[in-house]
Homo-oligomer: A and B are copies of this chain.
Amino acid sequence: ESPVSVCAGDESVASHFALVTAYEDIKKRLRDAERENSLLRKRVKQLEDKMFKPEAPSTEG
């Protein structure tokens, strides 16, 4: 059983809008993931600095 009986004329417009909806959301997720990544990288660096040179004078911030 297929639910598609007829071909709607503006299908490419419709599929475009559906893709825009998806794209806008995935763009946001990528931005969030990159931001989190950046924070995590900083955190790893902080921890590694503390762990591996606990006595050495810090050269950063």
Q: Which residues of A contact B (CB under 8 A)?
A: 10, 12-13, 15-16, 19-20, 22-23, 26-27, 29-30, 33-34, 36-37, 40-41, 43-44, 47-48, 50-51
Contacts and interface: CB of A to CB of B under 8 A. Distances in A.
A58 B42 CA distance: 25
Query: Secondary structure of the A side of the interface?
Result: helix
A23 B20 CA distance: 9
8 contacts: A10-B12, A23-B23, A37-B37, A37-B40, A43-B44, A47-B47, A47-B48, A50-B51
Contact of A44 (B16, B20, B47, B50): B47
A40 B45 CA distance: 11
